[in-house]
Structure 1
Amino acid sequence: MDSLKELVEHMAKSLVDKPDRVEVDEIPGQQTTLLALKVDKDDLGKVIGKQGKTAAAMRTIIRAAGTKLNKRYHLDIVE
């Protein structure tokens, strides 16, 4: 994986039924880079998980990887 954008895309595609509908936009900010994850409406629950645990785990991985790169990242899951 060359970037966190690719990492998020890979994780999401492995979870969903329609991997061709996975899209990740990287939006750089002054202090934090936003990774906006878009999936098919039917796959939204799979990415979020029960009680948001899958999404929380993905955010933890992104935060840890960002720390290693000395950058801040935030994962936002959008419809």
Structure 2
Amino acid sequence: MEQLIRVIARALVDHPEDVQIQVKEDARGLVYELSVHPDDVGKVIGKQGRIAKAVRTVVSSAAVKERRRVIVDIISE
């Protein structure tokens, strides 16, 4: 799952070397915190959050195979 998020994020940004993912587990399920270069945050979120929503949809669909609840949080610094 982490690799899927990493591949998608690196394809979207200008600074792929700055893509970082941290994995945490909480009451909501498995949480992937995606952080990118400050200049790339807008590219990952997209207009009105469309890109972020699409990424979350793809990851959630992939998580169904593992019967897990997965959340992708985009961290803007």
Pairwise TM-score range, normalised by the shorter structure: over 0.9
| In structure 2, C-alpha distance between the alignment counterparts of 1:59 and 1:30, rounded to whole Å | 18
Counterpart secondary structure, 1:69: coil
> What runs of 5+ residues in structure 1 fail to find an aligned partner?
none
TM-score, structure 2 normalization: 0.93
> Which deviates further from its counterpart, 25-34 or 5-14?
25-34
Query: 2:51: which partner in 1?
Result: 54
CA RMSD of aligned residues (A): 1.0
TM-score, structure 1 normalization: 0.91
> What runs of 5+ residues in structure 2 fail to find an aligned partner?
none
| In structure 2, C-alpha distance between the alignment counterparts of 1:31 and 1:77, rounded to whole Å | 16
Aligned length: 76
Matched AA of 1:43? D
| In structure 2, C-alpha distance between the alignment counterparts of 1:75 and 1:31, rounded to whole Å | 11
User: Between the two proteins, what is the percent identity of the paired residues?
Assistant: 37
| In structure 2, C-alpha distance between the alignment counterparts of 1:55 and 1:33, rounded to whole Å | 17
